[in-house]
Structure formats: C-alpha cells, structure tokens
Structure 1
C-alpha cells in the first residue's frame, strides 16, 4: 500500500479577507453619506469681533530744554517741579508711550536727567534725548 503524504488541514483552509474588507468599507461609506447632520437648537451668541491690533499712540510728548535750563512742554513753559503733573495731564488726553527731550548742548546734564526721571515716574516708557546745537 501506498501511503499518502499527510498534510495539515490548516494549510488548505485559508479564507480570503479582501471581499469582507471591501464590504465593510462600502458600508462605512454608505453610513457616512446617508447620515444627516441636525443643527442643535439653542441660543445664538453674538460674540464681539477680535481686535488684535493695538491702538497706535497718537503723538509723542515733546519736551525742550534751553541753555538756561528752562523747560518747555509742547510749547508751554513748565517749572521743573511740575513736570510729572504736566506729563500725567498730557497722558490723560493722549495715548502715547514715548517722549522726546530736546536739550540744548549747553544745558546742564543734571537738568536733563531730572526731566528723564520725572518722565519715567509719570508713566512714559520710551524716553529719547536729542541734543540741539546753537
């Protein structure tokens, strides 16, 4: 007698999964397409517009110091002890964060430094110093 070569049943019995996957994907597409999206009922909220642009400063504060140490702010003479109050008044009326100090070349440095300190104390963030010759 001849003996047959014994083969396992697992080798011959394989199932092809491709058609089943095709059917699953077709059903998935069908359900996605036929689904109706219902808008939920509720109150509409009116949100304010987003304004990311910061307000531009209106104008810079101008402070002039002449060779005698006299201080002028926007064309008006000011006492050195009243610089902070005048700057705060200016800031209340104008939106700015910078000041330009125009000093004469013969002005004492202590006066210029005092005006710079008072401007910082009043709330000016950016102070620039310009030296004006005779």
Structure 2
C-alpha cells in the first residue's frame, strides 16, 4: 500500500488550515479589561492604544511619553492615511485607569481624525455580580 496519496492529502489539509486561519494578537502588557454584557469583537486591522494601571500609555505596543507624544504619533498615522485606509482605533484601558485619562485619549483621537473608536472589554457573566445593588430586584423580575 502506497502512502504518498494520503501524505499529500494531509499536507494539503494542513496547508489549507494554516493559510485560512486568522491569528489573534494578544498584548504582552498587563491590562485587566473591564467587563461589558454587550461586548463584540472588532475585525480587521486596528491601531491599539493601551493604558495600564501605572498610568503608562502604549501605542501599538510601544511606550509613549505622554499625551502630547500620543497626539503627535496618532496624527502621523492618521494624517498620512486616505479615507479608506484609516484603521479603527481600539483603546485597551485597564479597568482601574482614571476615567479622565481615557477621555483625554478619546479627545486626542477625535482631534487627529479618527473616525471609528472602540473600547476593549471582556464579556461579563450572565449572572449579576454581588456588588450590584439591584441584583436582587433583577433576579426577582426575571422569575
């Protein structure tokens, strides 16, 4: 029995799966994302701004010196892109980052011409948390 045809088929299947699969890029930064019941995935290429708990900002995984530097770098990315080439901006802010810091990044994004903004979250559990003051009333309404 000749094994060549079966090896060819297995090789073609392996090649097909390697070429047709997409890879998710996970950040090496320690960012604990907030939970949201309505979170959805973002498809395609995105420009990622990350804010960690230590008040550091990263653009595409590289450290940024401050909000002025972030504005300059985002401006360079979005001013050189045509209308069709402008990638969405994804903000990955740790759940303990101050709200004002995230708003500052949103302002900068709008100022440099970002047309599509997304905030990264993780899906929350279906069951309300015990810290939710309305958790009991939600349970009663559901039954």
TM-score by length of 2: 0.47
Could you list the structure 1 runs, at least 4 aligned residues long, displaced by more than 6 angstroms after superposition. none
Residue 96 (structure 2) aligns with: 106
Q: CA deviation at 1:116?
A: 0.6
- For 1:68 and 1:100, locate their aligned partners in 2 and report how far apart those are by CA, in whole Å: 19
Contact 1:60 1:96 in 2 (8 A): no
Structure 1: gaps of 5 or more residues: 1-57
Q: Which has the higher contact order (CA 8 A, sep 6+)?
A: 2
Structure 2: gaps of 5 or more residues: 1-43, 123-143
Trace 1:1-134 onto structure 2 (pairs within 5 A). 59-78=45-64, 79-91=66-78, 92=80, 95-131=85-121
TM-score by length of 1: 0.50
**How many aligned residue pairs are there?**
75
Task: Please identify the structure whose Cα radius of gyration is greater.
Answer: 1
Worse-superposed segment, 110-119 or 87-96: 87-96
| RMSD after superposition | 2.0
